[in-house]
Amino acid sequence: MKVGELMRSPVVTVSKNDTVARARNLMLREMVSRLVVVEGNSPTGILTKKDLVRDLASYKMRNRELDSIMVLEIMRTPVKVIQESASVEEAAKAMVKANIRGLPVVDSGGSLVGIITKTDITSYYLQTQKGAHTVGEIARKIDQTPVVKRTHSFYRVVDMMEEYSADRVIVEEGGRPVGIITETDLSFLRPYRGSEPFIKGTAMKSEEPWPTRLYQLPTAESLMTVEPITVEADQDAAEAASALLENGIGGMPVVNKEYELVGMITKFDFVKAIAREGSA
């Protein structure tokens, strides 16, 4: 299958001169995880939830108002792109090599025509690889899984995401998963100065849960989604792909028969699996 057959179009875009406040609101409204930065119709950069988490948690940025920060200050550039005529396997290999979760798609003239993401490739895995692997064969093992305790701080969660190059962290207690925290939970978190420790709200869901919780001093327990969906290590990996897609989530804990945490599987693990298949 060619990238042009699997990509999504149109693409949600911003200008480098837009504010981060506008970019954040655009992500919320359009329910997307990344924005392509364009000049005319040419992609020049990319802004993701991970960029928001990393940069807005930094000492340099954390005291600034979002409408005073420009997209050009935190976007990643140059941007990696792929031709619409490339194969899905080539796209997967390019994503793994660059350790990115999405690629803007361009035509032969370099104009933006779509985007292909880890979600699209997970769907492709489900279509083409049923019975090919168990969950345990492609998932992160426990020593590669970012894990925190309930009382760890927001900053510890961010550090673990950076250290393990992950978009989510498992909260464990007694060796068992009790919660999960994603980049979405962190990237739309803003300080609250009222008398209560937090405010809760609801929002629609898409690829990821979209919380509207605002905390003063957030801990892992106050940020996490409790009772996360799990999968057993000996299940067909295609079943895990299906669960991720059907539930609109990007990853989940992997457990053994005793419900002990043994790893984590994410959509990016399916990208890696397709990349390996393309190299075989």
Alpha helices (runs of H) in 31-117, residue ranges in sequence order: 49-56, 71-74, 88-98
Q: Are residues 176 and 217 in the same domain?
A: yes
Rank 19-33, 202-216, 236-250 by mean pLDDT and report only the highest. Answer: 236-250
**Under 8 Å between Cβ of 199 and 213:** yes
Mean pLDDT taken over the chain? 89
41 domain residue, yes or no: yes
CB burial of residue 159 (10 Å; 0-12, 13-18, 19+): middle
Q: E strands, 70-166, where?
A: 82-83, 102-106, 112-117, 140-141, 147-148
pLDDT of 189 reads 56
Which residues have a Cβ under 8 Å from the Cβ of 133 and sit 6 or more positions away? Answer: 236, 237, 273
Q: What is the pTM of this model?
A: 0.84
Task: Give the gyration radius of the chain's Cα atoms.
Answer: 19
Residue-wise DSSP of 234-271: TSBHHHHHHHHHHHT-SEEEEE-TT--EEEEEEHHHHH
CATH assignment of the domain containing 37: 3.10.580.10
Say whether both 8 and 116 belong to one domain. yes
Inform me whether the pLDDT recorded for 253 exceeds 60.
yes
Q: Which tens digit of pLDDT belongs to each residue from 176-199?
A: 999 999 988 886 654 433 334 444
Lowest-pLDDT choice from 24-38, 231-245, 256-270? 24-38
Residue with tokens 């939830």: 49
Question: Are residues 217 and 124 part of one domain?
Answer: no
Number of structural domains in the chain: 2
The per-residue b/e assignment along 59-90, b for 16 or more CB within 10 angstroms, e otherwise, is eebeeeebeebbbeebbeeebebbbbebebbb
Q: Tell me which residue range forms the domain holding 183.
A: 135-267
Look at residues 61, 94, 128 and tell me which one is the last residue of a structural domain.
128
The proportion of the chain whose per-residue pLDDT surpasses 90, expressed as a percent, equals: 74
Task: Give dist(CA 216, CA 210) in Å, integer.
Answer: 19
Same domain, 143 and 196: yes
Distance (Å, whole) CA 93 – CA 274:
8
The CA distance from 37 to 71, in Å, is 8
Domain finish residue from 80, 108, 128? 128
CA distance 59 to 15: 25
Q: Is the pLDDT of residue 244 over 50?
A: yes
Residues 159 and 236 in one domain: yes
